[in-house]
Amino acid sequence: MRKPALLYALAVTLALGATAPSLAADIQIGFPGPISGPASFLGQQMKWGAEQAVEELNQRGGVLGRKVSFIMQDSQCRPADAVSAAQKLISQDKVDVLLGDLCSGATMAVMPLAEAAHKPMIVSISTLPEITDKAGVGGNKWVFRTVPDDRMLASVIGTQLAQTKTISFIAEDTDYGRSAVKLVKARLGAGAKVVSEDYVKNTETDFLPVLTRLRSTKPQALAIFMLDQQGFNLMKQYTQFGLKMPLVARPPLLAPLAKSLLATGKFDGSWTVYPYFDQYSSPANDAFVKPFVAQHKQGPHYVAYGVYESIMVAADAIRRAGSTDPDAVREALRKTDYKGILGPIAFDDHNQSHNNLMFVKVEHGKLAVKLIPSQ
């Protein structure tokens, strides 16, 4: 009589365990990201940013007396997989706050899920302007963004290019590249002439044809929109061609690889506008960067900063709301006035924050950074 009862009890326990919600004691933040796939090294940085945020929060006693933890699910930056991952985070893991994905397409696919599930969502990395348009007033009230969008970056870039008369663009052929070029073109000075506009697939490594053409057309500036690795290849080939025009907009001047190239002095005058740079020294940034470098032997990438800051903002909102009730947290987020690493974070009526940006210029082979307000 005992054995069957025992087995029965075991079966019931297992069944309960399988369907029981995860322990409600922890405050959980979840996000999809590229754990595997081509962008996985950035996914790694996202995880590190989250780890650091959660550790700091817990060292200070957690939030509302509860421990904070995070869950990252793999999306490979693909919209369909991000939806799957987000769905898991919402229904299975029952996270309290959702963060966006790395890639804008994936984040956009997840936004309707947050709305349907009434889950506060913070876009921590993606920069596509449409996300702002869709969020807040008249749209998805549940989505907030703590980082700047490409329109804000483009405004600043455009202002810097006000005196430039001839310019060429090279961008990766993705939503980011195409959108960024469009935005900057719209903000160029009157009388500025776009000499050429090339889109390359993001695995392209051979820039000879474009650089050959630039050698003849000689625009005043070359605006670049691509990720670090590809941009670095472009910079290498640029030096081989002996070109002189400065690289502007978003060249990967900040990449650690680029240091030796910059030191040759061939890139003086080039500049970039970035939402974050780990080598900008300020008390707030040092407090973030030093432990990160000590732990991982690498500086934090923008994506790590984005995730870290967003988790902090989420924690702040939960604290002010006094609970993890979704409506309360959402209301608290709307009223955010958080002292972030780069400046105050507050949300406009499209739930978009207007954080300060970094303007980085190459002078005498070295990088000079200053904060500029977004417009």
CB of 88 to another protein, least distance (A): 5
Residue 143 in contact with another protein, rule: CB under 8 A: no
CB of 346 to another protein, least distance (A): 27
Pick 216 or 281: Cβ nearer another protein: 216
C-alpha distance across the termini of the chain, in Å: 76
CA distance 227 to 91: 34
CB of 264 to another protein, least distance (A): 10
CA distance 220 to 262: 19
Pick 60 or 218: Cβ nearer another protein: 218
The 8-class DSSP code of residue 61 comes to: T
Pick 163 or 216: Cβ nearer another protein: 216
Residue 40 in contact with another protein, rule: CB under 8 A: yes
Residue 185 in contact with another protein, rule: CB under 8 A: no
Residue 340 in contact with another protein, rule: CB under 8 A: no
CA distance 311 to 152: 22
Pick 116 or 162: Cβ nearer another protein: 116
The CA dihedral of 107, 108, 110, 114, to the nearest 10 degrees, is 110
Are 268 and 365 in contact by the 8 Å Cβ rule? The answer is yes
Which whole-number Å values give the CA distances from 322 to 23, 63, 318, 331, 336, in the listed order? 19, 9, 6, 11, 14
The percent of the chain in helix, strand and coil, each rounded to the nearest 5, is: 45, 20, 35
CB of 30 to another protein, least distance (A): 13
Residue 204 in contact with another protein, rule: CB under 8 A: yes
Are 238 and 247 in contact by the 8 Å Cβ rule? The answer is yes
Closest CA to 71 of 81, 57, 85, 83: 85
Token pair belonging to 156: 């600043």
Residue 109 in contact with another protein, rule: CB under 8 A: yes
Out of 163, 216, 260, 281, the only residue in the binding site for another protein (CB under 8 A) is 216
Residue 365 in contact with another protein, rule: CB under 8 A: no
Pick 88 or 165: Cβ nearer another protein: 88
Site for another protein in 62-91 (CB under 8 A): 74, 76, 78-81, 83-84, 87-88, 90-91
Residue 229 in contact with another protein, rule: CB under 8 A: yes
Residue 326 in contact with another protein, rule: CB under 8 A: no
CA distance 117 to 325: 13
Pick 260 or 281: Cβ nearer another protein: 260
Residue 201 in contact with another protein, rule: CB under 8 A: yes
Helix (H) or strand (E) holding 99: strand 97-99
- Chain contacts with another protein (rule: CB under 8 A): 35-41, 74, 76, 78-81, 83-84, 87-88, 90-92, 105, 108-109, 112, 117, 128, 130, 170, 173-175, 177-179, 196-201, 203-210, 212-213, 215-216, 229, 233, 236, 239-242
